[in-house]
Amino acid sequence: MSKKFKLLLKGKTCVFIDWANVYGWRQSLKTEVDPAKLYHHLKSYKTVEEIRFYYGTDNNSKSKTFMKKMSPRFPQGRD
């Protein structure tokens, strides 16, 4: 992430990420969001106990590449 973002969290936190929404941010941010960087940024907060990525499946080649990349590191619905 090029800019530093600081979240104000109170107490134990579980993060649920719907990748379809994050993927849509690329237009407004004018850049891609790296799921590994996002994960590590969120894990840097002491109160974040769990991070879950949710993403769908389809036959698009770009989607297949993404899912192959994500699956070993972030199983669907898990951190």
Residue where the block lists tokens 């800019």: 3
**Rounded distance between C-alpha atoms, residue 18 and residue 66, angstroms:** 14
Rg (CA), the chain: 13
- The domain ranges of the chain are 11-56
Kindly report whether the global pTM for this prediction surpasses the value 0.75. no
pLDDT in tens, 28-67: 888 888 888 888 889 999 999 988 888 777 777 777 777 7
